Structure 1
Amino acid sequence: MKRRTTTVSLGVALLLAAVITGAAVASAPHGEQSPREAAALTGTAELYRSAGDDITFTFDAHLAAEHHDDPLDATGTFEFSHCLNGKGARAEADVGCLLTGGDVAVVSGVITDSDLPGAKGKRVGITVHDLGRHDRLGYSWAATGSPAEGGELPRCVSSAPFEKVKKGTGDFEVVPWKPRL
């Protein structure tokens, strides 16, 4: 009987310690909760093309809570690549703007690294529609031509999300921006 009482007492003590420790870790100083970021776009997906093109987009874009009122203060990166039959190009860009609403995000940025001649230093924009297993995507160069050849694109500009994400690859997540109006 004494061993069962000791075991139960030890179990209760461990459970109580875990609850107290968890509560201390979960709360911010002085009982304040950390504000959630103002907006975000994250995830990776491949686009569907019947010809077998290998097209991938990856996003890690964020608008911090303290920059809530200015989507031009967004930070992060995004990458994209397009290859077919062993030929193609890839690019990385620094985020310069992030606007989200509901399950749609528009992100734009300047290309910082690319193997497409003339693309470095050009601004591009991409739109994502986060539809769970049926995400869609659009990009500024659908209307303006190659990022290497187009003129200067304004910030926060892209196209409608007209491309389909390849089945089983979309994991985009959009955190909606809620501007103070």
Structure 2
Amino acid sequence: MSLAAPSSRRRTRAAALGAALLVAAAVATTGGPAVASDGDGTGAGDRSTTREAAALTGTAKLYRSLGDDITFSFDAHLAAKDTGDPSKATGTFRFSHYLDGFGASAEVKVDCLVTGGKVAVVSGVITKSDLEGAEGRRVGVTVHDLGREDRLGYSWASTGSPVEQGPMPKCVSSAPFERVKAGTGDFKVLPWEPKL
């Protein structure tokens, strides 16, 4: 049993219906919910976030029939303000390759990131590695973000080692010929949309 009088309930329903109609009208005329303006058209206090120009994130292991433990991890970003210059990308990526207790790993400082659709090419200079002669060398990696079936390629594909590949320019890599091990891929590519 309600304690509100019948006329009070009708007023409450009418007010709720009126508010719902105002929201619906705002959505219909603006294409989205109404946002209070702070005078410069950016919304109340400009609480919105700007979409970055490009990104490559995530970790996965590569599939190898012999059981090699090969892992790649990415945290590479191109800020919106730098959309015209992919060489201003920031972040890091890491990779490692081990089999039967032998192998090496490397950490890389990003120096270029270009993405298109679901494909990303990232390069950087190795800052730390237990592979002799690798520190200071630029390497590149290509990722194709295919959901659970991501693919990956790397600049040293034809030489077998970053140490053997020789000098290379920024944002260069190979086609993504490697497959990600089932259940490990979570690479995410944010497409670059430069003003051409």
TM-score bucket (shorter structure) = 0.7 to 0.9
Of residues 133, 138, 143, the one that matches 1:128 is 143
- How far residue 29 of structure 1 moved from its aligned partner, in angstroms, is 5.2
- Partner residue, 2:13: none
Is the 1:44–1:169 Cα contact (8 Å) retained in structure 2? yes
- Partner residue, 1:41: 56
- How far residue 95 of structure 1 moved from its aligned partner, in angstroms, is 0.3
- How far residue 153 of structure 1 moved from its aligned partner, in angstroms, is 1.1
- How far residue 124 of structure 1 moved from its aligned partner, in angstroms, is 0.3
Gaps of 5+ in 1: 4-22
- Following the alignment from structure 2 to structure 1, what is the Cα–Cα distance between the partners of residues 98 and 47? 49
Query: Which secondary structure does the structure 2 equivalent of 1:143 belong to?
Result: coil
- How far residue 32 of structure 1 moved from its aligned partner, in angstroms, is 6.8
Residue 52 in structure 1 maps to residue 67 in structure 2? yes
Is the 1:53–1:84 Cα contact (8 Å) retained in structure 2? yes
Query: Which secondary structure does the structure 1 equivalent of 2:174 belong to?
Result: coil
- Following the alignment from structure 2 to structure 1, what is the Cα–Cα distance between the partners of residues 44 and 59? 35
- Following the alignment from structure 1 to structure 2, what is the Cα–Cα distance between the partners of residues 111 and 80? 10
- How far residue 62 of structure 1 moved from its aligned partner, in angstroms, is 0.1
Gaps of 5+ in 2: 5-34, 37-41
- How far residue 177 of structure 1 moved from its aligned partner, in angstroms, is 0.1
Question: How high is the TM-score relative to the length of structure 2?
Answer: 0.78
- Partner residue, 1:65: 80
Is the 2:153–2:174 Cα contact (8 Å) retained in structure 1? yes
Which stretch shifts more, 146-155 or 42-51? Answer: 146-155
- How far residue 149 of structure 1 moved from its aligned partner, in angstroms, is 2.6
Is the 2:119–2:145 Cα contact (8 Å) retained in structure 1? yes
Is the 1:118–1:149 Cα contact (8 Å) retained in structure 2? no
- Following the alignment from structure 1 to structure 2, what is the Cα–Cα distance between the partners of residues 29 and 77? 35
- Following the alignment from structure 2 to structure 1, what is the Cα–Cα distance between the partners of residues 59 and 43? 31
How many residues are aligned here? 167
Aligned-residue RMSD, C-alpha: 2.6
* Cα gap change, 1:28 to 1:117, in 2 (>3 Å): farther
The one-letter code sitting in structure 1 at the alignment partner of 2:105 is R
State how 1:92-131 maps to structure 2 within 5 Å.
92-131=107-146
Q: Which runs of 4+ in 1 moved over 2 A?
A: 27-34
- Partner residue, 2:105: 90
- How far residue 30 of structure 1 moved from its aligned partner, in angstroms, is 4.1
Seq. identity, %: 69
Question: How high is the TM-score relative to the length of structure 1?
Answer: 0.84
Residue 150 in structure 1 maps to residue 174 in structure 2? no
- Partner residue, 1:6: none
Is the 2:155–2:165 Cα contact (8 Å) retained in structure 1? no
1:41-83, Cα deviation, whole Å (9 max, x unpaired): 0000000000000000000000001101000000000000000
CA radius of gyration, larger in: 2
Is the 1:28–1:34 Cα contact (8 Å) retained in structure 2? no
The one-letter code sitting in structure 2 at the alignment partner of 1:122 is R
The one-letter code sitting in structure 2 at the alignment partner of 1:133 is R
Residue 165 in structure 1 maps to residue 165 in structure 2? no
- Partner residue, 1:138: 153
